[in-house]
């Protein structure tokens, strides 16, 4: 969606309020074009993942002449409560938010000089790394300088200042392979960036005024003859509390304004059991009238993709569990069409409204309920809006409800968790673009399969539920469940005990002396939502996993 004069006015208003739309400390804000494999992502320093001035920031396929887009913009939101119960929030959207600055926080504060120095991106290719390694292997020294390798911002890099003109702060920065284990990046001794993919790009920023968090991002992708791999990009994020206080009830969220070509006929949904959310078209043609879209926005016409976002690793909870996709909600843009939906289903404006959305509620605090548009319906409370496959008309989806489309935005949250001073956490996801799907109401089973491929790539083809050093795997079925769910372990393994926790860490069920390879949990009084189990095996091993109660 191209920004309207109304939006520009609102951004100016938010700037006057000092909320989150004013210019960042260092400007002009650096941009980068990340065009690995079959897509082009326009990145913006200061927390925005996909943004190209006033135009869409994620183009796929990248060689299409008309530059049809699938994402207009996106960003990472963070919010939590300090010990006094005060809300700490950073929720950038379209502007360059004053609460987000390039570079890490130093001593719990943002330094304007650091912001200027780090107002850039560091791209790297596996080919450059391989050339560096081959050069060193030849005679034990580096004869041909690969600037992107020598200038990689790894901690303590002694050659960095020569290339960039400033010294790195003595903190952990970009990942690298530390051959001698001294914690210093020494590329002239054969050390090299620790990346995945054939091409990658790294950058770092901080949420200085809203919430004292430093966030570093490594984005990467692969090029191959496999359509799924060639249409998937990965984002790994590490975030650290650089403040002096613990932050509780914290959520990290991926905010997305998906525009599948034309922005006026988009639908969104999720499959929480697969840590997956998606955006798709409302009907068989991408456009308002036929294949035409207002403002001259290019469309996919009748060859319409589905866009998926797979959380590969959610935030880590208090028990070391992967919180995965904990919440999913959408809201509508009030200036597209004439939304008949309540005001509570439109853009948030205040800090508490943003936090409600991160917590899987409508901006006025009303719980999300199943059925209809999810607001004040007769259904049950849930944390997951439109949780179903559009091809299954018995599922709750925008397609089955035949909802009007008002340029929906969506938020995928992971939490709640606590993060103390100096503590780090992480959050990773894959962006999956599947071309030319069958419409209307597309079957997202291929997206589920593609998400599994992305998960395998991310994990190095290992299972997240395996006991280290063994081949024991836990499975739960059905999941999500409405009445009962049975958890089984493979091979000759036997459960000794199992505990079930709510997302807030509260123990809700405990099973002891099981002496069986399976345990059945009855729904009974469990509220709809996500739960985590930890199980002790008789051989001393552990397995864990996630359950979703409908």
Show me where the domains of the chain are located. Answer: 5-100+208-459, 122-202, 474-549
pTM metric for this prediction: 0.82
Cα separation, 394 vs 400, whole angstroms: 7
Residue 361 sits at φ, ψ, to 5 deg, of -120, 165
Right CATH for 5-100+208-459 from 1.25.40, 1.10.1760, 2.70.98, 1.10.3470: 2.70.98
Considering the four listed CATH numbers 1.10.10.60, 2.60.40.1220, 3.90.230.10, 2.40.30.10, the one that applies to the domain covering 474-549 is 2.60.40.1220
Query: What is the distance between the alpha carbons of residues 24 and 28, in angstroms, rounded to a whole number?
Result: 9
Contact criterion met (CB below 8 Å) for 174 and 153:
yes
Per-residue pLDDT of the chain in tens (550 residues, 90 and over written 9): 443 333 323 332 232 223 333 334 677 889 999 998 999 999 998 778 998 888 899 999 997 778 899 999 999 999 999 999 999 999 988 864 456 899 999 888 888 899 999 999 999 998 999 899 889 888 889 999 999 999 999 999 999 999 999 999 999 999 999 988 999 999 999 999 999 888 999 999 998 778 999 999 999 998 877 889 999 999 999 999 999 999 999 999 999 999 999 999 999 999 999 999 999 999 999 999 999 999 899 999 999 999 999 999 999 999 999 999 999 999 998 877 666 568 899 999 999 999 999 999 999 999 999 999 999 898 999 999 999 999 999 999 999 999 999 999 999 999 999 999 999 999 999 999 999 999 999 999 999 999 999 998 888 743 333 333 345 678 888 887 888 999 998 878 899 899 898 766 678 999 998 989 999 999 998 987 778 888 888 776 778 887 878 7
DSSP string, 283-299: SSSBSSBTTB-GGG---
- How is residue 532 written in tokens? 């985590």
Please report which helix (H) or strand (E) contains residue 419, including its range: strand 409-419
Cβ–Cβ < 8 Å for 47, 90: yes
């Amino acid at each position: 969606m191209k920004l309207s004069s109304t939006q520009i006015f609102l951004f100016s208003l938010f700037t006057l309020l000092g909320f989150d739309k004013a210019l960042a400390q260092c400007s002009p804000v650096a941009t980068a074009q990340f065009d690995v494999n079959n897509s082009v992502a326009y990145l913006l320093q200061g927390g925005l993942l996909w943004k190209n001035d006033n135009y869409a920031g994620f183009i796929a396929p990248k060689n299409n002449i008309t530059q049809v887009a699938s994402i207009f913009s996106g960003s990472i939101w963070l919010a939590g409560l300090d010990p006094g119960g005060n809300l700490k929030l950073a929720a950038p959207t379209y502007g360059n938010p004053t609460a987000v600055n390039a570079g890490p926080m130093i001593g719990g504060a943002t330094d304007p000089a650091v912001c200027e120095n780090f107002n850039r991106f560091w791209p790297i290719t596996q080919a450059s790394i391989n050339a560096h390694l081959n050069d060193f292997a030849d005679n034990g020294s580096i004869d041909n300088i690969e600037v992107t390798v020598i200038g990689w911002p790894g901690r303590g890099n002694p050659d960095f200042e020569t290339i960039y003109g400033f010294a790195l702060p003595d903190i952990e920065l970009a990942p690298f392979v530390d051959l001698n284990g001294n914690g210093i990046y020494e590329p002239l001794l054969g050390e090299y960036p620790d990346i995945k993919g054939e091409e990658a790009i790294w950058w770092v920023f901080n949420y200085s005024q809203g919430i004292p968090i430093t966030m570093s991002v490594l984005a990467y992708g692969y090029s191959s003859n496999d359509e799924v791999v060639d249409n998937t990009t990965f984002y790994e994020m590490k975030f650290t509390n650089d403040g002096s206080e613990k932050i509780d009830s914290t959520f990290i969220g991926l905010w997305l304004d998906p525009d599948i070509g034309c922005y006026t006929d988009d639908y969104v949904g999720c499959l929480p059991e697969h840590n997956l959310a998606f955006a798709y078209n409302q009907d068989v043609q991408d456009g308002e009238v036929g294949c035409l879209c207002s403002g001259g926005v290019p469309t996919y016409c009748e060859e319409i993709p589905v866009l998926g976002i797979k959380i590969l690793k959610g935030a880590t909870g208090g028990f070391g569990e992967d919180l995965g996709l904990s919440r999913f909600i959408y809201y509508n843009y009030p200036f597209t069409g004439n939304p008949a939906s309540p005001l509570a289903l439109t853009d948030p404006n205040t800090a508490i409204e943003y936090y409600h959305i991160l917590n899987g509620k409508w901006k006025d605090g009303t719980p999300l309920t199943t059925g209809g548009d999810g607001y004040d319906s007769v259904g049950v409370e849930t944390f997951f809006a439109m949780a179903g496959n559009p091809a299954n008309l018995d599922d709750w989806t925008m397609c089955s409800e035949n909802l009007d489309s008002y340029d929906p935005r969506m938020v995928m949250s992971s939490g709640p968790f606590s993060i103390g001073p100096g503590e780090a956490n992480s959050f990773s996801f894959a962006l999956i673009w599947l071309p030319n799907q069958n419409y209307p109401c597309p079957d997202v089973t291929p997206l589920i399969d593609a998400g599994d491929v992305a998960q395998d790539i991310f994990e190095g083809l290992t299972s997240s539920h395996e006991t280290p050093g063994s081949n024991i795997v836990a499975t739960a079925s059905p999941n999500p469940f409405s009445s009962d769910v049975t958890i089984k372990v493979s091979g000759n393994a036997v459960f000794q005990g199992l505990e079930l926790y709510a997302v807030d860490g509260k123990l809700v069920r405990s099973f002891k002396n099981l002496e069986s390879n399976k345990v059945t949990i009855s729904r009974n009084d469990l509220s709809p939502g996500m739960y985590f189990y930890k199980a002790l095996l008789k051989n001393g091993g552990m397995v864990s996993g996630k359950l979703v109660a409908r």
